[in-house]
């Protein structure tokens, strides 16, 4: 479907010293500063997959997406979309008909037109036959409940309504690949759930390949079985959510505030390598254990029998904490 082969994208800007003198000297120097936005990334996305494409701000996500959609041309390497290059003018028109895009922070709809008119314009742009267009519109209306807002100006829609409308607009021509950039940003919990379920349904019904970029790890967990993590232009991880959790272990953290002191050494010796205990500055003990090798009941029983507990909190290892650890270590 989509193959990214050792792709690099470098941006060059003139070297400039500060001040007026520095600006003048720039006119006579060929010295350049190179920014490696993407540096040797390779991965493949198969038909029907939902892939989470994760990275911190400035990691190279947007640059990669722009190359995959043909907006930018790689400095080296190549990207193939069904064997064609999206940035090649000879293939670009055909590939654009197979791509849909949703931006969480900006709309692709016409601001002053009723929503239905925006859809009609997309019908003409993508040259969709009328019978196919009506069938598609009915499917999207049933899925996203668009009928009540169909004749409303886009400018008058709420954020949740606009996101539903943008998702429908991206799917009206039934693309093979859907790029979602922060599709649930700013939405309340109920609307977010509806958008997430709609995306899952589209993937099931239409076999649409979906590439999701987001900072919301809950969206990744709800939608994706596979994630690709990049940082500073380099690929850090490409694999399943299940595998990444297995590598880091199912670590649980218990935070305990007690009236009496715990003999930390004795507890560590009791549970050996499967458990760690640290005392925090706030007075809480942090007891960390691997749920794959220790039963929660054993740990709780030990704490309850040795401490007069005033407060207790439990935290599981989340995808957010795993990704944070990968960023810190810059490897996996």
Question: How far apart are alpha carbons 98 and 208 in whole angstroms?
Answer: 10
Range 89-105 average pLDDT: 86
- What local confidence, expressed as pLDDT, does residue 332 receive? 57
Same domain flag for 276 and 196: no
**CATH (domain of 285):** 3.30.70
Same domain flag for 279 and 148: no
Q: What is the mean pLDDT of the chain?
A: 86
Same domain flag for 56 and 75: yes
Both ends of the chain: CA-CA distance in Å? 26
Which comes out higher in pLDDT, residue 33 or 11? 11
Same domain flag for 37 and 151: yes
Question: Does residue 178 sit within a domain?
Answer: yes
**Residues 190 and 158: beta-carbon distance below 8 Å:** no
Mind listing the pLDDT tens digit for each residue in 164-214? Answer: 999 999 999 999 999 998 888 888 888 888 899 999 999 999 999 999 998
- What local confidence, expressed as pLDDT, does residue 318 receive? 65
Mind listing the pLDDT tens digit for each residue in 256-275? Answer: 988 888 888 888 888 876 78
pTM of the model: 0.77
Same domain flag for 198 and 282: no
**Residues 105 and 79: beta-carbon distance below 8 Å:** no
Question: Does residue 121 sit within a domain?
Answer: yes
- What local confidence, expressed as pLDDT, does residue 252 receive? 80
**CATH (domain of 82):** 3.40.50.300
DSSP E strands: which ranges in 138-185?
177-181
The domain tally of the chain equals 2
Same domain flag for 238 and 306: no
DSSP 253-284: EEEEEESS---HHHHHHHHGGGEEEEE-TTS-
Which comes out higher in pLDDT, residue 100 or 246? 100
User: At 152, is the pLDDT very low, low, confident or very high (cuts 50, 70, 90)?
Assistant: very high
- What local confidence, expressed as pLDDT, does residue 205 receive? 92
As a whole-number percent, the residues of the chain with pLDDT over 70 amount to 94
Same domain flag for 191 and 96: yes
Q: Which 3 state secondary structure label does DSSP give 168?
A: helix
- Residue 316's Cβ-count burial label (10 Å; 0-12, 13-18, 19+) is exposed
**Where is average pLDDT lowest: 99-108, 137-146, 157-166, 318-327?**
318-327
Longest dimension (CA), the chain: 77
Which comes out higher in pLDDT, residue 197 or 16? 197
Domain end position, chosen among 227, 245, 263: 245
pLDDT at residue 303 greater than cutoff 60? yes
- Domain span holding position 214: 2-245
């Amino acid at each position: 479907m989509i193959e990214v082969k050792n792709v690099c994208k470098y941006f060059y800007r003139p070297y400039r010293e500060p001040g007026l003198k520095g600006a003048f000297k720039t006119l006579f120097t060929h010295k350049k500063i190179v920014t490696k936005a993407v540096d040797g990334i390779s991965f493949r996305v198969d038909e029907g997959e939902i892939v989470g494409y994760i990275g911190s701000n400035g990691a190279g996500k947007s640059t990669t997406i722009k190359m995959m959609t043909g907006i930018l041309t790689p400095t080296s390497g190549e990207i193939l979309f069904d064997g064609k290059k999206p940035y090649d003018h000879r293939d670009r028109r055909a590939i654009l008909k197979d791509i849909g895009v949703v931006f969480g922070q900006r709309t692709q709809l016409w601001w002053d037109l009723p929503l239905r008119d925006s859809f009609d314009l997309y019908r003409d742009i993508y040259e969709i036959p009328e019978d196919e267009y009506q069938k598609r519109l009915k499917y999207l209306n049933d899925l996203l409940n668009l009928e009540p807002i169909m004749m409303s100006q886009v400018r008058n829609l709420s954020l949740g309504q606009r996101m539903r409308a943008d998702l429908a607009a991206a799917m009206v021509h039934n693309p093979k690949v859907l790029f979602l950039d922060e599709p649930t940003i700013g939405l309340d919990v109920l609307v977010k759930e509806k958008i997430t379920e709609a995306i899952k349904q589209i993937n099931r019904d239409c076999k649409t390949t979906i590439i999701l970029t987001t900072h919301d790890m809950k969206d990744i967990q709800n939608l994706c079985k596979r994630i690709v993590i990049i940082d500073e232009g380099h690929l850090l991880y490409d694999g399943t959510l299940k595998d990444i959790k297995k590598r880091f272990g199912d670590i649980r953290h218990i935070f305990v505030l007690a009236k009496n002191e715990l003999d930390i050494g004795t507890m560590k010796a009791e549970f050996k390598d499967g458990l760690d205990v640290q005392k925090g500055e706030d007075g809480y003990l942090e007891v960390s254990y691997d749920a794959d090798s220790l039963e929660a009941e054993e740990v709780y029983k030990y704490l309850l029998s040795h401490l007069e507990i005033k407060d207790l909190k439990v935290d599981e290892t989340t995808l957010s904490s795993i990704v944070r650890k990968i960023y810190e270590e810059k490897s996996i």
